[in-house]
Amino acid sequence: MTAAYGNRIGGASLSAGTTFDSVNPAHPTEVVGTFPDSDASAVGDAVAAAAEAQRRWAEVPVPARGDLIARAADVIAARKGELARLVATEAGKILVEAGGDVQEAVDMGRFVAGQSRGPLGTTVPSELGRKMAYTTRAPIGVVGMITPWNFPVAIPSWKVFPALLAGNGIVLKPSEHAPLCAERFAECLEEAGLPAGLLNVVHGHGDPGAAIATHPGVGAVSFTGSVPTGRKVASAAMAVGPKVVSLELGGKNAMVVLADADLDLALDGALFGAFGTAGQRCTSTSRLVVHEAVADELVSRIAERAAALRLGDPTDPATDVGPVIDRWAGERIVAMVDRAVAEGAELVLGGSAVDVDGCEGGTFVRPTVLRAEREVSIARTEVFGPVLTVLTVSSLDEAVDVVNEVEYGLSAAVYTRDVNEALRAVDAFDTGIVYVNAPTIGAEIPLPFGGTKHTGNGFREAGARGIEQFSQVKAVYVDYSGRLQKAQIDTNPLP
């Protein structure tokens, strides 16, 4: 009998009429849990619960909020094995990567807890005597969060921990592909002592997400997902009034390999970057931009190693590549490869779905390598699957043009032994994240995460700026002179 879960609202578990099943992508007949397919009314209830809890939470000193977040990180760390197994079962990530997903939440919790003892603003000398001038950060109130399935524990943690530290109440709408991961994440926070109503989780498809975007009681919306959905969320939110909307969207990340690169290192990086998480990371290496002098050798070595990757059940430690999230994703990916070939790309490896023994009904796409010209559509569009498109160039300048000519700007990598070339690339790549001699994936919590151009709208998650996203700056003047002092006037009288 499959467990049924409710929406988590005001500390209670509430059902909402119709339901949907979350399934194991490696075994789609296996239901992981049944969840409410919520509508706007559940979001309304969740916003009311968050607003009420937030009023009390705002009174809690920031270091005490941090202590609670540290305890939550400890609970997640203690439950890491169980949570990683759930991520593998519900989102199809292989176990080691699922462990990384959970660890990111632990790291985020600890990092944010540390920020609770750090500065929240700046002080400046006032131009008038006996007057203080400083900034601090105030909560927004209720913040809405809409998250994707591919980092089902990490991404909620990137948003929830800084938002809590900033003193907000939260309504989280996790992906319909990974609702139990969000449920367990919220449970860990409850176990750590989070007051009821501060973190409300509303399940469902697009409707509750859209309701969060337009609810007048939600002061800020933080969205991570695809570009088309992000555009919808932003325009819906803006249609009802000015609102802070942060968008973390897709990528078309490139790894540049120059002629002098350590090819063994580049080979390992390309394989992990392109086929890790079956290519379903926003930072996955989707393009290999390689110097013509080493292209043939590198491509044939990648194809040989990629052909040997073992597809299978993500919970089996011997599996290298798990399933894609569902059948529709598999069909979309294969159709993109077919179109690339029709447009003139050369299929070096893979390009089709494959049945995997013991995983009946799961959609597995063979690791795929294409060689293409820059104009082919797959060289510019996010695939979100295990497909690496190789583009050949004859110089760093040409490589930079290729990296920058797409609409996305999330992550880019350069492999070279020449420090001058490496740092020229760092300067020239128009992306939010740059790696030198490492693949396009592998971000760490203390640095900001996000991208340029259509990848986002200028916000960054994680890092020291994380808390800024979920708070508003307040300028404070305290006059303790006991008399009326006039800025700009007292000290600079008219001549």
Q: Are 321 and 350 in contact (CB under 8 A)?
A: no
Q: Residue 35 contacts by C-beta under 8 Å, 6 or more apart in sequence? A: 4, 5, 19, 20, 21, 22, 176, 179, 180, 203, 204
Q: Rounded distance, CA 303 to CA 351, Å?
A: 12
Minimum distance of ligand NAD from residue 452's CB (angstroms): 11
Residue 169 or 432 with smaller CB distance to ligand NAD: 432
Task: Report the residue from 210, 256, 378, 412 that binds ligand NAD according to the rule CB under 6 A.
Answer: 210
Task: Report the residue from 176, 183, 313, 421 that binds ligand NAD according to the rule CB under 6 A.
Answer: 176
- Which residues in the 53-82 window bind ligand NAD by CB under 6 A? none
Where does this chain touch ligand NAD (CB under 6 A) — which range of 133-141, 205-213, 300-308, 360-368? Answer: 205-213
- Active-site residue, 187 included: no
Single out the catalytic residue among 97, 104, 183, 248: 248
Minimum distance of ligand NAD from residue 385's CB (angstroms): 11
Alpha helical stretches, state H, 143-178: 154-165
Question: Total residues at the site for ligand NAD (CB under 6 A)?
Answer: 29
Q: Is 97 in the site for ligand NAD (CB under 6 A)?
A: no
Residue 131 or 232 with smaller CB distance to ligand NAD: 232
Single out the catalytic residue among 176, 282, 382, 421: 282
Q: Is 205 in the site for ligand NAD (CB under 6 A)?
A: yes
- Active-site residue, 359 included: no
Q: Is 282 in the site for ligand NAD (CB under 6 A)?
A: yes
Minimum distance of ligand NAD from residue 239's CB (angstroms): 13
Minimum distance of ligand NAD from residue 1's CB (angstroms): 26
Distances (CA, A) of 175 to 22, 80, 255: 10, 21, 29
Closest-CA residue to 62 (of 113, 109, 105): 113
Residue 315 or 455 with smaller CB distance to ligand NAD: 455
* β-bridge mates for residue 220, sequence order: 143, 244
Q: Is 457 in the site for ligand NAD (CB under 6 A)?
A: no
Residue 62 or 181 with smaller CB distance to ligand NAD: 181
Minimum distance of ligand NAD from residue 317's CB (angstroms): 25
Residue 229 or 319 with smaller CB distance to ligand NAD: 229
Q: Rounded distance, CA 413 to CA 218, Å?
A: 37
Q: Rounded distance, CA 473 to CA 450, Å?
A: 21
Residue 364 or 384 with smaller CB distance to ligand NAD: 384
Q: Which tokens is 137 given?
A: 């950060």
Instruction: Give the x/- contact pattern for ligand NAD in 219-258, rule: CB under 6 A.
Output: -----xxx--x--xx--------------xxxx-------
Minimum distance of ligand NAD from residue 392's CB (angstroms): 25
Burial (CB count within 10 angstroms: exposed 0-12, middle 13-18, buried 19+), residue 318? exposed
Q: Which tokens is 350 given?
A: 């893979």
- Phi and psi (nearest 5°) for 326? -160, 180
Q: Residue 285 contacts by C-beta under 8 Å, 6 or more apart in sequence? A: 253, 254, 255, 269, 270, 273, 274, 388, 413, 439, 440, 441
Packing angle, helices 62-78 and 154-165, rounded to 10: 160
- Which residues in the 402-431 window bind ligand NAD by CB under 6 A? 410
Q: Rounded distance, CA 93 to CA 280, Å?
A: 9
Minimum distance of ligand NAD from residue 227's CB (angstroms): 7
Q: Are strands 169-173 and 142-146 parallel, antiparallel or unpaired?
A: parallel
Q: Rounded distance, CA 260 to CA 424, Å?
A: 15
Q: Are strands 142-146 and 220-224 parallel, antiparallel or unpaired?
A: parallel
Minimum distance of ligand NAD from residue 337's CB (angstroms): 18
Residue 452 or 485 with smaller CB distance to ligand NAD: 452
Q: Residue 268 contacts by C-beta under 8 Å, 6 or more apart in sequence? A: none
Residue 226 or 457 with smaller CB distance to ligand NAD: 226
Where does this chain touch ligand NAD (CB under 6 A) — which range of 104-112, 123-131, 209-217, 372-380? Answer: 209-217
- Phi and psi (nearest 5°) for 36? -65, 135
Q: Which tokens is 88 given?
A: 């593998």
Q: Is 146 in the site for ligand NAD (CB under 6 A)?
A: yes
Q: Rounded distance, CA 20 to CA 23, Å?
A: 10
Report the catalytic residues: 248, 282
Under the rule (CB under 6 A), what is the footprint of ligand NAD? 146-151, 173, 175-176, 205-206, 209-210, 213, 224-226, 229, 232-233, 248-251, 282, 382, 384, 410, 455
